Amino acid sequence: MSLDPTQLTAFNRTYYLQKIEDSSNPQGACRVWNRGGEGGGSYPRMRITIPGRGSHQYRIHQLVYALNNNKKLDTPYFEISHLCHNTQCVNLEHLSYEPHVTNMQRVNCVSTGHCLGGHGTQTEQYRACIL
Ligand SMILES: [Zn+2]
Ligand SMILES: [Zn+2]
């Protein structure tokens, strides 16, 4: 189910962001989740309740972006990418909402060890990797 934080009250958006803040620690430039993930896998998850839509687990980095921007993440083929390539990171400054193909371009940067640039489309450029 696509995450729609606009269905939450401002109070609840703040509440969940504070919970994420309290459940993560600085690690270099990153901020890393420290409570494990309810859903397992490499991306930690947290359960939140959206009125009228019930309770679901969402990837925490997606929550951080969506709650901070009060934005529904429903653009086709878009995803939240980690500029730092640290899947445990919940630092808003390290997240980019971008096309899947742009996210995939970044894989080459990781294997090379530095950002190769060129992360963008004909209409929009996205930020460089943080490596
Ligand atoms: Zn990071
Ligand atoms: Zn890059």
Residue pLDDT, tens place only, 54-78: 899 999 999 999 999 999 999 999 9
Looking at the domain assignment, is residue 32 inside a domain? yes
Whole domain around residue 46: which residue ranges?
5-112
Instruction: Find the CATH number of the domain harbouring 43.
Output: 3.90.75.10
Average pLDDT, the chain: 92
Instruction: With residue 6 as reference, give the H or E element that holds it.
Output: none
Distance 83 CA to ligand 1 centre (A): 7
State the pTM of this model.
0.92
**122 domain residue, yes or no:** no
Judge whether 29 lies within some domain.
Answer: yes
Burial label, 94 (beta-carbon count in 10 A; 0-12, 13-18, 19+): buried
Cβ–Cβ < 8 Å for 130, 82: no
pLDDT band at 85 (very low <50, low <70, confident <90, very high): very high
Q: In angstroms, rounded to a whole number, what is the distance separating the alpha carbons of residues 86 and 63? A: 16
- Cα(30) to centroid(ligand 1), Å: 4
In a domain, 123, yes or no: no
Does 22 reside within a domain? yes
Interstrand relation of 24-27 and 30-33 (parallel, antiparallel or unpaired): antiparallel
Can you read off the two tokens belonging to residue 86? 């640290």
